[in-house]
Chain A
Amino acid sequence: MKIFSDILFTLSARSIRLNMLRSILSALGITIGVIAISAMGMLGANMTSVVSAQMSSMANTMTVTAYTGGSSGGWSPPGMGGGSNDDSYITDKQYDDIYQIASRYGTVYPYYSESDTIYTKNDQKGRATIYGLDKEDMQTVLTVANGTLPRSENDVVVGTTLAGRQDLEVGSRFKIGDEDEQQIKVRVSGILAETGLSSSLRTDNAIVMTDDLYTSFYGGEGKYDQVTILLDNVNDSAVVKNALTSKLNKREDVISVSDSSSMASRVTESISTMVTFMQAIAAISLLVAAVSIFNVMMMSVTERISEIGILRSIGTQKDEVMRMFVYEALIIGLIGSTAGVILSFIAGYIVVALLIGSTAYFFGWNSMMYLPIGMVIGVSICIVTGLYPAWRAANMDPVEALRAE
């Protein structure tokens, strides 16, 4: 049986038309609920996409630091320099072991790091992280935006943020070290490209010098603060981690290995928790809409008691009466949800553009799927809330119903 030529459907549609305002208002409730649910979902999906895209570029980074006890497994972002504790370092021998195991899976490089005072033009004081890196490793790890990598003994490269803040250019000279202690004079040979959060070595706010210059000034040769492993394949991280810990931590824990993929998944997880929470709030608006649909349906049933009596007395089956009222809820649901889906598309686009600043992932399935989901939720809620009133109508005693004014 075709629904749209169905006389029961005609009756439902006409009943809605007769009570236009009331029906529109309750459809509006559903519209708002669907917008809330879908737009929140799309916002969350886009946020996750953007963040995980940013994260995936660093997901192949593993860091090895000396085991300090306590918060083992805690992930310290690469480049934040775990070297503040002078007693904990990776020895040359440990590095050799790490290199032997991990070099098959990607690039392995150790570095020194320190935080120190610097004096630039006119003795302007500042502070920066200082990294010591092997010359060859510099070529793999660093990207110079301006100038070159260190060529002569006292050359350093500086991060773009630091350069901007301290007014450093290629060729600038400045001093590192406290005034009343030993200082060295260095020359800027290059400014590094911006790395943001997604690099294995965050150099935006740092000075990078050769390991020779570093150890000649700070000492501690062969006592690395961190070893970084850049995996060729992200999926190898567990294998590498196991191999490293089983070899080096055989007798006692001497190193901690962490990979950023676990952090990426934690960030994605917390975004989805937040989105679920927002959607739960949005669901309240749908609940309110459901109550309003229920109310409208009950009113419709009550107003049409005598009509139900007539329909039943002239041979309409219970399930047909029930269907008639479910159709009514369905029509309200379809109108409300369709409007909701169209508006969610618009509202979602605006919210994503404003809050995330990128609509690159907006038209992807992960984001677009919230439109059909919103539609299905909206329509289902209408049908479910319409069921009880429809059941009431269907099970009315025809004699009683006929007697009603």
Chain B
Amino acid sequence: MTSPIVEVRSITKVYSLPSGDVVALDNLSLTIEEGEFVAIMGPSGSGKSTLMNQLGCLDVPTKGRLLIAGTDVRTLNDHDLTQLRLNTLGYIFQRYNLIPLLTAYENVEYPYILKHRKQDDTGHVRDLLESVGITRKMARHRPAELSGGQQQRVAIARALVNNPRILICDEPTGNLDTKTGNQIMDMLSDLNKKGNTIIMVTHNPETAKYADRTVIIRDGRIAV
């Protein structure tokens, strides 16, 4: 059996606030195998967002070991963490988080340029956009000129452009109507079937049904 793609070994995250320390994650452990589709649920304030930030390498735990694709993120500096985010992880956010100054096409091409240091001349970006249902005409528009569903499709294409090993989805359907949300979930489900590892935070049980496994977080720990 291959080693797990994500290995969380008793991590603790403490935020120092003027009013005292806040323990957001408390000695939490979790293992995710390559190709899994995991939903993380929990009430607000439970620490699920903090967990996602750790898994997404936007933040590092105060204590414990967090291995992403075999690398302990606590040993990495900011530069290497950023490289990890660029090459190994793909992000899909609730608020789409496209760059408003760039067109849909450029938004998808952006991480490609960061990684390859050149513009895409292979048609990869165009193909990806087509595969998520964004036509060439739509791709020339800025994010503000697209609907929420279209923006989230562009965001999925952007997350996939550098062939990440893990997709981090933070409430991907939270801002969408049910019908569009289902389309997006079908798309993620397809990607999972093609072998992508997906970690998704949601508080919608319907959305969580798409996952192979649901992890529930409460007070910074995994609730059984």
Binds A, one of B99-107, B122-130, B176-184, B207-215: B99-107
Return chain A residues, CB-CB under 8 Å to B56: 313
A-contacting residues, B53-108, CB 8 Å: 53, 56, 58-59, 78-79, 82-83, 85-87, 91, 93, 97-102, 106
Return chain A residues, CB-CB under 8 Å to B78: 318
Task: List 13 extra interface pairs beyond A313-B56, A317-B79, CB under 8 A.
Answer: A7-B113, A7-B114, A11-B101, A11-B102, A313-B58, A313-B85, A313-B97, A315-B83, A315-B114, A316-B86, A318-B78, A318-B79, A402-B97
Return chain B residues, CB-CB under 8 Å to A315: 82-83, 85-87, 111, 114-115, 162
Return chain A residues, CB-CB under 8 Å to B100: 307
Residue of B at shortest CB range from A1?
B117
User: Does any Cβ of B come within 8 Å of A312's Cβ?
Assistant: yes
Q: How far is the CA of A14 from the CA of B110 in the complex (A)?
A: 15
User: Does any Cβ of A come within 8 Å of B158's Cβ?
Assistant: yes
Return chain A residues, CB-CB under 8 Å to B91: 313-314
Residue of A at shortest CB range from B85?
A315
User: Does any Cβ of A come within 8 Å of B119's Cβ?
Assistant: yes
Q: Is the CB of B114 within 8 A of A11?
A: no
Given A7-B106, A399-B58, also A314-B86 (CB < 8 A): yes
Chain A interface mostly? helix
Q: How far is the CA of A311 from the CA of B79 in the complex (A)?
A: 14
CB distance from A141 to the nearest CB of B (A): 77
CB distance from A99 to the nearest CB of B (A): 82
Q: Is the CB of A311 within 8 A of B99?
A: yes
Residue of A at shortest CB range from B170?
A402
Given A7-B106, A398-B58, A402-B97, also A312-B119 (CB < 8 A): no
Name 22 interchain pairs, CB-CB below 8 A, sorted by A.
A5-B119, A10-B102, A11-B102, A15-B101, A307-B100, A307-B101, A310-B97, A310-B99, A313-B58, A314-B86, A314-B110, A314-B111, A315-B82, A315-B83, A315-B85, A315-B86, A315-B162, A316-B114, A317-B83, A318-B82, A320-B114, A399-B59
Q: Is the CB of B101 within 8 A of A316?
A: no
Return chain B residues, CB-CB under 8 Å to A7: 106, 109-110, 113-114
User: Does any Cβ of B come within 8 Å of A18's Cβ?
Assistant: yes
**Interface readout for A137-153 with B: 1 if CB under 8 Å, 0 if not?**
00000000000000000
CB distance from A203 to the nearest CB of B (A): 75
Q: How far is the CA of A162 from the CA of B86 in the complex (A)?
A: 89
Return chain A residues, CB-CB under 8 Å to B115: 315
Q: How far is the CA of A315 from the CA of B110 in the complex (A)?
A: 10
**Interface readout for A303-338 with B: 1 if CB under 8 Å, 0 if not?**
000110111111111101000000000000000000
Return chain B residues, CB-CB under 8 Å to A11: 99, 101-102
CB distance from A10 to the nearest CB of B (A): 8
Q: Is the CB of B82 within 8 A of A18?
A: no
Residue of A at shortest CB range from B87?
A315
CB distance from B100 to the nearest CB of A (A): 7
Return chain A residues, CB-CB under 8 Å to B87: 315
Given A7-B106, A399-B53, also A316-B99 (CB < 8 A): no
CB distance from B77 to the nearest CB of A (A): 10
Residue of B at shortest CB range from A12?
B101
Residue of A at shortest CB range from B142?
A14
CB distance from A321 to the nearest CB of B (A): 10
Q: How far is the CA of A18 from the CA of B58 in the complex (A)?
A: 29
Q: How far is the CA of A398 from the CA of B82 in the complex (A)?
A: 10
Q: Which of A10, A15, A306, A314 has the most CB of B within 10 A?
A: A314
Q: How far is the CA of A402 from the CA of B170 in the complex (A)?
A: 12
**Interface readout for A113-145 with B: 1 if CB under 8 Å, 0 if not?**
000000000000000000000000000000000
Q: How far is the CA of A281 from the CA of B86 in the complex (A)?
A: 50
Q: Is the CB of A18 within 8 A of B110?
A: no
Return chain A residues, CB-CB under 8 Å to B93: 402
Q: Is the CB of B58 within 8 A of A402?
A: yes
**Interface readout for A1-28 with B: 1 if CB under 8 Å, 0 if not?**
1000101001100110010000000000
Q: Is the CB of A307 within 8 A of B99?
A: yes
Residue of B at shortest CB range from A398?
B58
CB distance from B20 to the nearest CB of A (A): 20
Residue of B at shortest CB range from A401?
B58
Q: Is the CB of B106 within 8 A of A316?
A: no
Q: How far is the CA of A402 from the CA of B87 in the complex (A)?
A: 20
Return chain B residues, CB-CB under 8 Å to A402: 58, 93, 97
Residue of B at shortest CB range from A317?
B82
CB distance from B179 to the nearest CB of A (A): 27
B-contacting residues, A378-405, CB 8 Å: 398-399, 402
Residue of A at shortest CB range from B89?
A315
Q: Is the CB of A14 within 8 A of B101?
A: yes
**Interface readout for B134-150 with A: 1 if CB under 8 Å, 0 if not?**
00000000000000000
Residue of A at shortest CB range from B86?
A315
Q: Is the CB of A314 within 8 A of B106?
A: no
Residue of B at shortest CB range from A319?
B79
CB distance from A173 to the nearest CB of B (A): 91
Return chain A residues, CB-CB under 8 Å to B162: 315
Q: How far is the CA of A162 from the CA of B83 in the complex (A)?
A: 88
CB distance from B80 to the nearest CB of A (A): 10
Return chain B residues, CB-CB under 8 Å to A15: 101
CB distance from B54 to the nearest CB of A (A): 10
Q: Is the CB of A316 within 8 A of B82?
A: yes
Q: How far is the CA of A388 from the CA of B115 in the complex (A)?
A: 27
Residue of A at shortest CB range from B114?
A315
CB distance from A3 to the nearest CB of B (A): 13
CB distance from A252 to the nearest CB of B (A): 81
